[in-house]
A and B are shown apart, each in its own frame.
Chain A
Amino acid sequence: MADVVFSNVQKTFGTFTAVRDLDLTIRSGEFVSLLGPSGCGKTTTLRMLAGLEFPTGGTISIDGKVVNDTAPGKRDIAMVFQSYALYPHMTVAKNIAYPLKKRGVPAAERDQMVAKAAEMLQLTPLLNRKPGQLSGGQQQRVALGRALVRDPKVFLLDEPLSNLDAKLRGYMRAELVELHARLGRTMVYVTHDQLEAMTMSDRIAIMLNGDLQQFAPPQEVYRFPANRFVAGFIGTPSMNLIDGELTRAGSGWRFCAASLDVPVGPLNDMAQPGPACLGMRPESLSLGAGEQMAKVLLVEQTGHENIVTLQFAGQIRLTARTTAAQDLQMGADVAFAIDTSALHVFGPGETGPRLNRLLENKSSETDGQT
C-alpha cells in the first residue's frame, strides 16, 4: 500500500501561486498523470512530492505518513527526470547501482539487482558504457533502470518521453504501461501531452494555473469534461466550443448562437438562462445531410479520415471528422447535422463548469467502482 495524498497543498513563489489548495488522493498501484499546459503547476506538484520543493501550506503524505519534512532520499520514491540526469562520469552499471550504494546495499547483492534491472530493460550489453555513448532512448532506459532497481513505493516521472523522437516515444509509452502492469507500483507521471496521459493513465489530473480542474479516468475526462477548459484541452482535434445563449424551453433548455438553435439535454442546478458555451466533439457532426448549411474552409487528410474545418453562419468555425471516402471540395457548401444527444454545455468563462446533468451521476459511479 502506497497511497499518495495531497491535502490542501499550497505552493507560492513570492507573490506567484504555483499550486492552490490541491486535494488529490492517488491510490496504491495507480498510474496517475498530471496534465496541463506549461505553468499549470503540474511539475511543481511532482517536485513537492519528490521533496525537491517544499509546500507553503497543507500536507503531503505517502503511505499514510506525512512527508512534508522528510528528505527526498528518505521518502522511498524514485524519479525519472526530463533530462534523465544520468551521472555522466559513471558507467551505466554504476548509475543504476548508485541509489543502492547510497542505501548501504552490499556490493554482491547490488550487482545482482543491477543485473536484474538491466535485463528487464535490455540494458545488459550496455552496462560498461558511459551515458555519453548512449542514444536518447537508451539513456531513457538507464534512467528508468536507476529508478526501478530499488523497488521504491512511488515512481515519479517528469515528462520522461519529451526528448525522444515520435516513433520511440510511442514505443516507450507501451513499455512504460507494461512496466507499470508488471511492477504494480504507484506511478505519478507529469506530461503536457494529452495523448500520453490518455493512453497510459488510470486517472488523469488536469491542472490549470495552479488549480486542479478534474481528476478522473481518461474515458470520463473525454466524455464528461468537468469544465470548458478540460473540454477544449482533451481530444484531437479539440472540441468545438461555441459561445451563445441558454434559454428555457418548457421543461428543457435550448442553446442559441447565430442561426444555430438546438435543444440541449437535462441540465443541472447551476444552469440558468444567459450566456453559456456549447461544446461538441468533431465526431458528433455528420456532413452531407441535415438541416444546417456551412462552407468548407479546409480539408486535412490524415489517411484513414479527414478533418474538415467549416464556417457556419458567417463567423462560427467548426471542426468535423469524416471518413476519408467522403469527397469535399474546399469552398463548397455542405449540409450537416448535429448529434444532439452528445452535446456539452458549460457556464461562461475560461473554466465555466459543466452544466449537463450526466456528470454528477457518472462521476460518483466511477469513483465507487475503481
Chain B
Amino acid sequence: MSRPNTATPLERRYAMLGVILIAPTILVFCAVIVYPLFSAIYLSLFQIFTPTLQGSFVGLENYQRLFQRSEFWISLRNTLVWTIGTLTLQILLGVAMALVLHQNLWFRSLARSLILFPYFVSTVVAVLVWRWLFNDLYGILNHLMISVGLIDWPLDFLGSSPNAMISVILVGAWKYFPFVVIAVLARLQTIPEPLYEAAKIDGAGPIARFFDITLPQLREVLVVIILLRAIWDFKEFDLIFLLTGGGPLITTQTLPLLVYKEAFALNQMGMASAYAVVMMAIMLVFMVVYVLKTRNKDESR
C-alpha cells in the first residue's frame, strides 16, 4: 500500500484522523480475538496442568494423540449428527412457519411476535423446562403419550442412546428455528406479487409456484442462514451441556463439550487447546464458503 506522495497536508491530516479513529477498535480486536487465537495455538503445543498452568513443550504430540483417540472421532461424528440434524429441522420448520405467517391471517402480527419466544428465552431456562417435560418419572410428555396410548412404559428421553441425541436435536430445532422464520419472512415480503400472478397466468399451480418462484427467490437468504446457523450449531455448548452433559456415556458429547471436559474436568489445557484448534480449522471451511458466497453476490450486482 504505497501512498501517493502527492498527498496534500490536508489529505495527510485526514488520513491521520482515520488511523486515530480506527485504532481503539483494532486494539480491542487484537486483545479479545487475535491474542486468544494465537494463545490457543501456542498452548496446544504444550502439556499443561490447568490449575497451575505449568507444563512442558511437547510439539505436535497433542495433535498426534488427538487423531488416534476414538473419543475425538466419536465427538466429531456427534457434532456432525447434531449440526446436520438440528439445522435440517430448523430450516424445514422455519421455512414452513414463515410461509404460514406470510399468509393473510387475522392473528398474523400476534403470531409473528410469539414465534420469537423460544429465541428470546435464555438457554438455561429453556433447558430446565425441557428437562421437566422430558422427565421419565413426572414429565408431561411421557404422561401424555401414555394417556393417549402411544406407549405403555415411560420413555427415557435423555438417558438412553439414540433418544438423547434425538431429544437434543429437537430442542435445538425448537430453540433456533425462529431465527430462520424471521430471516425468511423478511425475504418473502420483498418478492413482487406480479411474479406470482404471471406464474398463475402461465399455468403454474400452488406447488409449482413455490418451487419455481418462492424457492429460487429464497435461495440467497437460505445460503446465508444455513452457513451462519451451521457455524453456530457446530460450536453450540450450553444447550447440550445443560440438557445431557454429553451423556449417556459420550453419545451426545460434541467437540465443544470435549474441549470443556479436557480443559476443566481432566485439567489438560494443552490437549483442550489442540481440540479447539482442530475445531477452528473445521469451521474455517464454513467461513471460507460463507465469504466466497457473499462476495460473489456483491460482485454480480
Pair from one complex:
yes
**Which residues of chain A (52-77) have a CB below 8 Å from chain B?**
52, 71-74, 77
What 1/0 flags go to B205-225 for Cβ under 8 Å of A? 100100011001101000000
The one of A52, A73, A82, A83 in contact with B202, judged by C-beta atoms closer than 8 angstroms, is A73
Using CB atoms and an 8 Å cutoff, list the residues of chain A in contact with chain B.
50-52, 71-74, 77-79, 81-83, 85-90, 98-99, 102-103, 146
> B201 an interface residue at 8 Å Cβ cutoff?
yes
> B198 an interface residue at 8 Å Cβ cutoff?
yes
Most buried by A among B200, B202, B219: B202
CB distance from A186 to the nearest CB of B (A): 15
**Within the assembled complex, what's the spacing in Å between the Cα atoms of A86 and B212?**
12
Check if B201 sits within 8 Å of A72, measured CB to CB: yes
> B149 an interface residue at 8 Å Cβ cutoff?
no
Please tell me the number of chain B residues within 8 Å of chain A, measured between CB atoms: 18
**Within the assembled complex, what's the spacing in Å between the Cα atoms of A82 and B212?**
21
What 1/0 flags go to B246-275 for Cβ under 8 Å of A? 000000000000000000000000000000
User: With a CB–CB cut-off of 8 A, which chain A residues contact B192?
Assistant: 83, 85
The one of B200, B202, B205, B217 in contact with A89, judged by C-beta atoms closer than 8 angstroms, is B217
CB distance from A195 to the nearest CB of B (A): 25
User: With a CB–CB cut-off of 8 A, which chain B residues contact A102?
Assistant: 202-204, 208
CB distance from B201 to the nearest CB of A (A): 5
Check if B200 sits within 8 Å of A72, measured CB to CB: yes
**Within the assembled complex, what's the spacing in Å between the Cα atoms of A89 and B194?**
15
> B61 an interface residue at 8 Å Cβ cutoff?
no
> B195 an interface residue at 8 Å Cβ cutoff?
yes
Most buried by A among B203, B213, B219: B203
**Which residues of chain B (79-103) have a CB below 8 Å from chain A?**
none
A-B pairs, top 3 by smallest CB distance, nearest first, are: A73-B203, A85-B194, A102-B203
**Within the assembled complex, what's the spacing in Å between the Cα atoms of A99 and B213?**
13
Given contacts A87-B213, A89-B219, contact A73 B204 (CB under 8 A): yes
The one of A51, A83, A98, A103 in contact with B194, judged by C-beta atoms closer than 8 angstroms, is A83
Given contacts A89-B216, A89-B217, A89-B219, contact A78 B201 (CB under 8 A): yes
User: With a CB–CB cut-off of 8 A, which chain A residues contact B204?
Assistant: 73, 98, 102
**Within the assembled complex, what's the spacing in Å between the Cα atoms of A81 and B190?**
18
Check if B202 sits within 8 Å of A98, measured CB to CB: yes
Name the prevailing secondary structure of the B interface residues.
helix
Check if B216 sits within 8 Å of A52, measured CB to CB: no
User: With a CB–CB cut-off of 8 A, which chain B residues contact A77?
Assistant: 201
Closest A residue by C-beta to B208: A102
Check if A79 sits within 8 Å of B219, measured CB to CB: no
Can you give 24 A-B contacts (C-beta < 8 A)? A50-B197, A51-B200, A51-B201, A52-B197, A73-B202, A73-B203, A77-B201, A79-B197, A81-B194, A81-B198, A83-B192, A85-B197, A85-B198, A86-B198, A87-B195, A87-B199, A87-B213, A89-B217, A98-B204, A98-B212, A102-B202, A102-B203, A102-B208, A103-B203
Closest B residue by C-beta to A98: B202
A73-B200, A73-B203, A77-B201 provided; 9 other pairs, C-beta below 8 A? A74-B203, A78-B201, A79-B198, A82-B194, A83-B194, A87-B198, A87-B213, A87-B216, A99-B201
CB distance from A89 to the nearest CB of B (A): 4
**Within the assembled complex, what's the spacing in Å between the Cα atoms of A81 and B193?**
11
CB distance from A144 to the nearest CB of B (A): 13
User: With a CB–CB cut-off of 8 A, which chain B residues contact A74?
Assistant: 203
Check if A50 sits within 8 Å of B213, measured CB to CB: no
Check if B219 sits within 8 Å of A81, measured CB to CB: no
CB distance from A148 to the nearest CB of B (A): 13
Most buried by A among B198, B199, B204: B198
CB distance from A9 to the nearest CB of B (A): 19
Closest B residue by C-beta to A150: B202
User: With a CB–CB cut-off of 8 A, which chain B residues contact A51?
Assistant: 200-201
**Within the assembled complex, what's the spacing in Å between the Cα atoms of A146 and B200?**
13
User: With a CB–CB cut-off of 8 A, which chain A residues contact B200?
Assistant: 51-52, 71-73
Closest B residue by C-beta to A99: B202
User: With a CB–CB cut-off of 8 A, which chain B residues contact A146?
Assistant: 198, 202
CB distance from A145 to the nearest CB of B (A): 12
The one of B195, B201, B205 in contact with A79, judged by C-beta atoms closer than 8 angstroms, is B201
**Within the assembled complex, what's the spacing in Å between the Cα atoms of A355 and B73?**
95
Given contacts A79-B198, A85-B194, A87-B195, contact A99 B203 (CB under 8 A): yes
Check if A81 sits within 8 Å of B197, measured CB to CB: yes
**Within the assembled complex, what's the spacing in Å between the Cα atoms of A312 and B198?**
53
User: With a CB–CB cut-off of 8 A, which chain A residues contact B197?
Assistant: 50, 52, 72, 79, 81, 85
Closest A residue by C-beta to B220: A89
Check if B195 sits within 8 Å of A85, measured CB to CB: yes
User: With a CB–CB cut-off of 8 A, which chain B residues contact A103?
Assistant: 203
Check if B201 sits within 8 Å of A50, measured CB to CB: yes
Closest A residue by C-beta to B200: A72
Closest B residue by C-beta to A50: B201
**Within the assembled complex, what's the spacing in Å between the Cα atoms of A357 and B202?**
48
**Within the assembled complex, what's the spacing in Å between the Cα atoms of A89 and B217?**
8
**Within the assembled complex, what's the spacing in Å between the Cα atoms of A71 and B217?**
24
Most buried by A among B197, B216, B217: B197
Closest B residue by C-beta to A147: B201
Most buried by A among B200, B213, B216: B200
CB distance from B197 to the nearest CB of A (A): 5
Check if A73 sits within 8 Å of B213, measured CB to CB: no
**Within the assembled complex, what's the spacing in Å between the Cα atoms of A90 and B192?**
15
What 1/0 flags go to B18-35 for Cβ under 8 Å of A? 000000000000000000
User: With a CB–CB cut-off of 8 A, which chain A residues contact B208?
Assistant: 102
Closest B residue by C-beta to A156: B201
**Within the assembled complex, what's the spacing in Å between the Cα atoms of A77 and B204?**
13
